[in-house]
Amino acid sequence: MALDQATVARIANLARIKVSEDELQAWATDLSAIITFVEQLDEVNVDGVEPMTGVGDFSLPLRPDVVTDGGYAEVVTSNAPNGAHGFYTVPKVVE
């Protein structure tokens, strides 16, 4: 299926990637080629087939829901752009 410019704009918005108006058509052409390629799967009969959701034949482990780590906010935030006093910062979101 060919993706149109409106679809690309919608995807870009969902993905939070800025795509300018004049780039939309190039992306539409580019992504359509890949979507067309993967649509080969239409010809595979998957009636009664369960989706594969994990690789190993072991179940995921459970552990007690207790705190096992932490207490070093300064380290955790050490790579934050504009981090301050062990906190992350974002542009003002409440007027």
Partner 1 sequence: MAVLTDLTIAAARKGLDAGDFSARELTQAHIDAMAQHKTLNAFITETPERALADAAASDARRAKGESAGPMDGLPIAMKDLFCTADVRTTAGSHILEPFTPPYESTVSGRLKAGGSVMLGKANLDEFAMGSANITSYYGPVTNPWVASGGDNRQRVPGGSSGGSAAAVVARMAIAATGTDTGGSIRQPASFCGIVGMKPTYGRCSRWGIVAFASSLDQAGPMTRTVEDAAIMLQVMAGHDPKDSTSAPYATPNFSEKLAAGVKGLKIGLPREYRVDGMPAEIDHVWNQGADWLRAQGAEVVEISLPHTQYALPTYYIIAPAEASSNLARYDGVRYGLRVDGGDLKEMYENTRAEGFGAEVKRRIMIGTYVLSAGYYDAYYLKAQKVRSLILRDFTTAFESVDAILTPTAPSAAFVLGEKQDDPVQMYLNDVFTVPASMAGLPAISVPGGLSDEGLPLGLHLIGKPFDEVTLFQVASALEEAAGYDARPAGY
According to the binding rule CB under 8 A, does residue 4 interact with partner 1? Answer: no
Pairwise CA distance, residues 23 & 12, whole Å: 11
Contact residue for partner 1 among 44, 66, 67, 84 (CB under 8 A):
44
Query: Is residue 67 a contact residue for partner 1 (CB under 8 A)?
Result: no
Among 22, 49, 66, 70, binds partner 1 (CB under 8 A): 49
Which of 21, 22, 52, 85 is close enough to bind partner 1 by CB under 8 A? 52
Please report, in angstroms and rounded to a whole number, the separation of the first and last CA atoms in the chain. 43
**What pairs with residue 87 in β-bridges?**
84
Question: Residue 50 corresponds to which tokens in the numbers above?
Answer: 């369960």
Binding site for partner 1 (CB under 8 A): 3, 7-8, 10-12, 14-19, 27, 30-31, 33-35, 37-41, 44, 46, 49-58, 60-61, 63, 75-82, 88-91, 93
